[in-house]
Amino acid sequence: FDSSQLKHTETQEKNPLPDKDAIEAEKEKNKFLNGIENFDPTKLKHTETCEKNPLPTKDVIEQEKSA
pLDDT in tens, 10-54: 988 787 888 999 999 999 999 999 999 998 889 899 999 887 887
* 20 φ/ψ angles, rounded to the nearest 5 degrees: -60, -35
Residue 46, sorted as left (phi over 0), alpha (psi -120 to 50) or beta, turns out to be beta
Name the pTM for this structure: 0.43
Write the DSSP string, the chain.
--GGGPPP-----SSPPPPHHHHHHHHHHHHHHHHHHT--GGGSPP-----SSPPPPHHHHHHHHH-
What was the pLDDT predicted at 23? 94
